Structure 1
Amino acid sequence: MGESNLGLTEAVSIALGGMIGGGIYAVLGVVAQITMAATWAAFVLAGVVALCAGYSYNTLNSLRDAHGGSVSFVQCYLGNATLAGMVGWTLLFGYIGSMAMYAFAFAEFAIALGLPDGIAGLPTRPAVSVLAVAAFVGLNLLGARSTGTVENILVALKLAILVAFGILGLAYIHGFSAAPVDIGLDRLTSTSPIVAAAISFVAFQGWQLLFYDQEGIENPVETIRKAVYIAIPVAVAVYVLVGVVTVNLVPDALTNSPHVALKDAAATMLSPYGLSSFGAVLLSVSALFSTGSAINATLFSAAHFAKGMLTDDLLPDNVGDAETDGVPERTVVLIGTVTAAFAAVGSLNAITSFASLSFIVIFGAMSVLAFQQRDKSAVHPVPPALGAVGALGFFPLMLWNLRTREPATFYMVLVIAGAVIAVELLYFERAYLERKVTRIEAVVSDSVDPDN
């Protein structure tokens, strides 16, 4: 982040930037398609589970000298390098899924601003997503990075636009709409808000990036603790406000063009003032800016995270050079390439679901780890228990939703998960496997040699 230590304001900005930076523009349409007027309830539920996970992270971060996030927690509290490595790999895939989600949304809003849907018979969206990722890979290779002050300004600007969007939307509903605000109470008795909460979970993961840069934060344990407890509720409030307004203003757009429904909502709320086009353009530009900065920030953090794993021998050496100053270039290019591939071939529903599954697994695991420390006086068992139960409930519902709504994606996720786990085990248990292979070769050699 920089050589000078960051204070609470900057830490809150980083956490909020990681969540609101691109999350609302990418996931709102996906979530609203599932539960419509109860979208606000999905965001509240996901936020509660994320806040419980945040408590678990803060607890694990304060009890021992385990600063560094999920991988460090597993190494410190369980002493299991294989499990720590698998946690790290899962997180990396979660970051890749998040960036692919942002790149997908970036392209959708670029098309909404006037880019053609297709060129020479080929769809524009995948190409724009790939180009966006490539551009931010280039920026990271050049060392472009915002300072703490710039981050504060950028996050404040993003928040101001979204809050203004919500307030103007409520004013439009109150002054120009005959129908009352629908908050979907009839849907609260169904499973749809819970399924939607699980899918939206990726929009609440940005706060844990703070744990990877603690040497750059003043009084890190206490500062991060406060930042997490401030940032998550603020993100929930913004998501709820934007969700209620969008669902009530443009329900048809959420069905017909869910990925850019925010643009249609902005146009509708400003139409009485003759600023319909201005609203659509302003919101689309804000979305481009937010999703783009989210790609950049996540790529930077993911590459630094991968460098830490390289240092701990939790990634193969050909992924990057752990001894290099700054971010390993090979690592940035590799992460960017995989991200671009995900963004090019995946649907937004599939990418969002995949990324959310990754963070559900990790946040749930950290909640279980914190719950195991409940005998310590500083640990209250309820938040970690709620975090673990929430993740345990989200996981099967996510898989059920994929199996029901997108069976092809469901099987793709299973294949990818199986392949990742197999590769992880081959890498982390390579010494054990080598010994087994050597013994088998010796037994076979003895059996075919009559002299033995």
Structure 2
Amino acid sequence: MSSRNRSPNAELGLLDATMIGMGAMIGAGIFVLTGLAAEISGPAAIVVFALNGVVTAFTGLSYAELAASIPKSGGGYAFVREIFADFASFIMGWMLWFAYMIAGALYALGFAPNFLELLHVYGVVAPPEEVGAIAVPVIEASIPLSVLLAFTAVAGLVALNAVSTAASGSAETIFTIIKVSILVVFVAFGVTSPMFSSAEFQPLFPDTGPASILPAMGLTFIAFEGYDLITTVTEEVENPRENIPKAIFLSLVATVIVYLAVVAVAVGTLGAEGLAAAGEAGIAEAATSFMPTGLPIIQNGGALIVFGAVFSTLTALNAVVIASSRVAFSMGREGQLLPSVGQLHHRYGTPFVAILASAVVMLGSVALPTKSAGNMSSLFFLLSFIIVNVAVIRLRRERPNMNRPYEIPFYPAPPLIGIALNLLLTGVLVEYLLRTDRLAILLSVGWLGLGGVAYLALNRYRARQNETTDSMTNSEITPEGEEHP
């Protein structure tokens, strides 16, 4: 069987699939966004994370039904490709592919300073802000060490994914278990500390009022993006019709529990004002305030959180390397990218070209402004979630008798609520970007415009290929009664 016609091997179990979702969701977001959420909404930061979990669950139900009904790799793109027109499905895949690659660049850049900070804790290097650039004699230039570390992290995980799906899935499982264990240790020390026993969570809205929840939700929503990555590897999961919905729900429930426990401990020990003052270092400062010093290997609470942040960025990066390449692979297989992108490697059985193509764009995205790149990623994810909720409604109408091993309860309320809530958050985000980050809007429009050009170019390429094939076929046909020369 040629690499063009091969299907990916089902080498991932339920645990591996669940860890891909948790690995992407429990990324650096929980470490850096908790303090920022407390700054906006005070002790109600706990409510913010809880409500975002509810909002996410509605779209999660749609992903679960579609994945069980259409067991194809590619995530939201695969579902839209099954239901919508050619151009609409291409734009969906184009957005998702870019969103995952942009997220990968952000995770790689987040890994670098955390890794340097971890080395600094153990006296290996100077503080991250004092670490200089490294001279590259071949090109007579200097590269910041943080950028070099980001490139190294991407290259290492790309190599792992290119060689073995099972190995990358196992790495994701191990890294995710480590970082969740670190957060469990944080919560265990926190709830047993005297600081938490005297915690005050009231008044829930000290100055800002309940309206502060909405902007805080918009800020922290990115922390819940990740369960959708599970559906990008559907064909590589054993018994996907059953295991994919289970993995989505398990990853969402486990992540929400972990988030609520961490935020409650952080607010309960450091206080909402102290957490807000600490900003992006809120969780680390909370850990330093109540965790003992002189722990084995880990010297103090702050070091423990830095250690957790290193593994969080690595697992999130690995998850989006997997996801972005599978979206590209699915598009190539459907003829919406170059055919080579949709083929499996003859030896490794992985979407080798799709992985390399995704890595190139991911590394190039490191040059984009971090804030703008993050906003673009959030905008494209929200838009894709709206489309997925629309897709599940349309599929129900057009194919009512389709085999659905899992069906959304109380249909059509969940997808309709999902559409409304994601539209609301999209509107809030766009309004915010128009005021504070117009570059993100321009880059988003530019990427979609580039997608339109790519779509037309690929259509012309396919037309020429078909013409060549037809002419070769016709030249081999001999009229009846006429002999070959």
CA distance in 1, matches of 2:16, 2:388: 25
Unmatched segments (≥5 aa) in structure 1: 435-452
Q: What is the percent sequence identity of the aligned residues?
A: 27
Shift of 1:125: 4.3
- The aligned counterpart of 2:289 is 268
**Alignment partner of 2:115: what SS?**
helix
- Change beyond 3 A, Cα 1:199–1:219: same
Q: Deviations over 1:252-297 (max 9, x none)?
A: 77556533332222211214x6659422222211211221132123
- Change beyond 3 A, Cα 1:346–1:270: same
Letter in 2 for 1:226: K
Shift of 1:248: 4.3
CA distance in 2, matches of 1:126, 1:29: 26
- The counterpart of 1:9, out of the listed 7, 12, 15, is 15
Kept after mapping to 2: 8 A contact 1:321/1:328: yes
- The aligned counterpart of 1:365 is 387
Kindly report which structure 2 residues correspond to 1:44-59, keeping only aligned pairs within 5 A, or say none: 44-59=50-65
- The aligned counterpart of 2:369 is 346
- The aligned counterpart of 1:415 is 442
Kept after mapping to 2: 8 A contact 1:94/1:355: yes
CA distance in 1, matches of 2:66, 2:336: 21
Kindly report which structure 2 residues correspond to 1:12-161, keeping only aligned pairs within 5 A, or say none: 12-25=18-31, 27-63=33-69, 68-78=74-84, 80-113=85-118, 114=120, 115-120=127-132, 125-141=146-162, 143=164, 146=167, 151-161=172-182
- Change beyond 3 A, Cα 1:212–1:183: farther
Report whether the alignment pairs 1:390 with 2:421.
yes
CA distance in 2, matches of 1:64, 1:141: 25
- The counterpart of 1:381, out of the listed 390, 409, 412, is 412
Could you list the runs of 4 or more consecutive aligned residues of structure 1 that deviate by over 6 angstroms after TM superposition?
431-434
Shift of 1:392: 0.4
CA distance in 2, matches of 1:144, 1:5: 7
Q: Deviations over 1:354-397 (max 9, x none)?
A: 22222111111111222335555955111101110111000011
Kept after mapping to 2: 8 A contact 1:129/1:344: no
Q: Deviations over 1:139-198 (max 9, x none)?
A: 4455485376665444333222212212322332x4467551357345784443222323
**Alignment partner of 2:167: what SS?**
coil
CA distance in 1, matches of 2:365, 2:35: 19
Report whether the alignment pairs 1:244 with 2:264.
yes
Report whether the alignment pairs 1:285 with 2:316.
no
**Alignment partner of 2:300: what SS?**
helix
- The aligned counterpart of 2:3 is none
Shift of 1:117: 0.7
**Alignment partner of 1:181: what SS?**
coil
Kept after mapping to 2: 8 A contact 1:54/1:228: yes
- The counterpart of 1:226, out of the listed 223, 238, 246, is 246
Kept after mapping to 1: 8 A contact 2:199/2:269: no
CA distance in 2, matches of 1:49, 1:22: 20
CA RMSD in angstroms comes to 3.4
Q: Deviations over 1:45-69 (max 9, x none)?
A: 2222221111112222344576642
Report whether the alignment pairs 1:296 with 2:318.
yes
- The counterpart of 2:433, out of the listed 387, 398, 402, is 402
Higher share of residues assigned helix: 1
Kept after mapping to 2: 8 A contact 1:307/1:327: no
CA distance in 2, matches of 1:187, 1:337: 47
- Change beyond 3 A, Cα 1:32–1:91: farther
CA distance in 2, matches of 1:334, 1:34: 39
- Structure 2-normalised TM-score? 0.76
Report the count of equivalent residues: 425
- The aligned counterpart of 2:477 is none
Shift of 1:303: 1.5
Kept after mapping to 2: 8 A contact 1:201/1:360: no
- Change beyond 3 A, Cα 1:43–1:73: same
Letter in 2 for 1:93: F
